[in-house]
Amino acid sequence: MMESKSIFKKLFLQPNCTYQLSLFRLATKQEISQLAGNNKNIKAMFEITSQPNGHFEDLHGLAIIELNTADDAMDFSGSMNVRSVESTFLRVESEASLELSPDKYYEFFAAWLKPGKEHLLKEFFVASEPIKQNYGRPVPQIKVEFETTPDEQSDIKTFSPHLSGIVEWNDESDVYQLLQHPDFYDKAAPLFEKAILRMEMILGKII
């Protein structure tokens, strides 16, 4: 993917808007860029490159669409070549602005907490921070933290995580290097497993 052909350059999110996040599977992966240009409310679209963790399978793309309410949701099922879609609705607490680089990789994460285990998640973040700082590669940066919208209902809503956000990575291989680091495996991962019921971790590049 060449920088000059990137469609999306910046992602700007506002607290007074609802954001539809859709993960889709295409009949032909080459149609992602064509799909991206079909709606002006699409604020960013990513081509999925790998899925280190999660239950969703064979995903090709991820779209972030700005809405007034869930009633305005975009139904990708009516688009050519879209085989299936997983969607949710999210908000941000405050304005978030992210410069989108074709040289970076972007992770979308969605997590479901085990009841009463929130303290273990906090312990995980404390334990993992020094490991991220010293695992030998650039430190991943959390760029966006979303809030769930349990009040937003729609026929196209298929999942509703407790936590979700966007992380910027320097390279796709950095993700696996961190996850496989001995200190992460021994000190951080056990806390994560005790705190999290389900985790979707999806990596992609901006279109």
DSSP-assigned states of every residue in 77-113: GGSTTEEEEEEEEEE-SS-EEEE--TTSEEEEEEEEE
Q: 27-32 — which CB contacts under 8 Å span 24+ positions?
A: 27/81, 27/82, 27/83, 28/81, 29/60, 31/80, 31/81, 32/60, 32/61, 32/207
| The two structure tokens encoding residue 74 | 């975009």
Predicted local distance difference test score (pLDDT) of residue 64: 95
| The two structure tokens encoding residue 180 | 């496989």
Please, what is the average pLDDT of the chain?
Answer: 90
**Digit-coded pLDDT (tens) for 16-67:** 999 999 999 887 666 676 676 656 789 999 999 999 999 999 999 999 999 9
Is 162 within 8 Å of 113 (Cβ atoms)?
Answer: yes
**Digit-coded pLDDT (tens) for 74-108:** 887 767 678 889 999 999 999 999 999 999 999 99
Predicted local distance difference test score (pLDDT) of residue 3: 43
Please provide the size of the chain in residues. Answer: 207
